Structure 1
Amino acid sequence: MKPGYVYILTNKNNTTLYVGVTVNLGERIQQHKNKHDKKSFTARYNVDKLVYYEAFQEIGDAIAREKQIKAGNRAKKIALIEKKNPDWEDLT
C-alpha cells in the first residue's frame, strides 16, 4: 500500500479548520494554495495554511486517523495543533 498523510489547514486568522488526508502532502497543499477547485470549502474560506500533519506508512492508517481527528471537537483539534506547532506557523 501507499504511504499517507493526515493534515490540518487553517486560514490566515486561524479561525477555520479543515482536516484532510492525502498520499502526496506537498502536491495536495499546493492544490489548496492554488485553489484548484474554486467551489471547494478550502477555496471559499481561504483555508490554505498547513499547521499540522502526521505521516503514516499506509494510507489506510492515515484515513483512520483522519476520521478520529474529525470526530473530535474543535478544542481537541486546537490542542493537537498547539502541541506540535504552538505558534501556528505555516509548515509549508
Structure 2
Amino acid sequence: MRGYDFYVYILASGVGGTLYTGVTNDLARRVSEHRDKVAASFTSRHRVTRLVYFEHHTDIEAAIAREKRIKRWKRAWKTRLVEEHNQDWRDLFHGLP
C-alpha cells in the first residue's frame, strides 16, 4: 500500500512577523507558490514567505484537523511552537528533501 504525505506548515514574514498556517500534500511546491506570489492572497499581500515550521502527517483528515486547530490558537502559542523547533526562525525551505 502506498503511503501518503501531508504537511501542516507555518510561514512567517520574518522573525516574530506575520504568520500563516496551511496544509498541503507537496510542501516544496506549495511554499514555492507562496514565495513566487502565484496568487493574490494573504501571503503575497503580507510578504509571508519564510517556512519556519512544518510537520508530517500520513492521514489527510488528521492534517486538516491539525491545521484548523493551529489556526485557532493564540499567536503566542504559534510562536512557541515555532521556537520549540526553530529557535532562530531560519527559513527551512532550502533544507527540504
TM range (shorter): over 0.9
1:47 aligns with 2:45: no
Identity of aligned residues (%): 47
1:84 aligns with 2:85: yes
TM-score when scaled to structure 1?
A: 0.93
Q: After alignment, is 1-10 or 62-71 more displaced?
A: 1-10
User: Aligned pair count?
Assistant: 91
Q: Distance in 2 between matches of 1:19 and 1:42?
A: 10
Secondary structure of residue in 2 paired with 1:90: coil
Unpaired runs of 5+ residues, structure 2, are none
Unpaired runs of 5+ residues, structure 1, are none
* 1:83 Cα deviation from its structure 2 partner: 0.2
* 1:2 Cα deviation from its structure 2 partner: 3.8
Secondary structure of residue in 1 paired with 2:37: coil
The 4+ residue runs of structure 1 with deviation greater than 4 A are none
Partner of 2:73: 72
Q: For the aligned residues, what is the CA RMSD?
A: 1.3
The one-letter code of the counterpart of 1:41 is F
TM-score when scaled to structure 2?
A: 0.88
8 Å contact kept, 2:15–2:89: no
Q: Distance in 1 between matches of 2:11 and 2:26?
A: 15
Partner of 2:33: 31
Q: Distance in 2 between matches of 1:14 and 1:25?
A: 22
The one-letter code of the counterpart of 2:91 is D
CA separation of 1:34/1:91 partners in 2, compared to 1, >3 Å: closer, same or farther?
same
Q: After alignment, is 53-62 or 8-17 more displaced?
A: 8-17
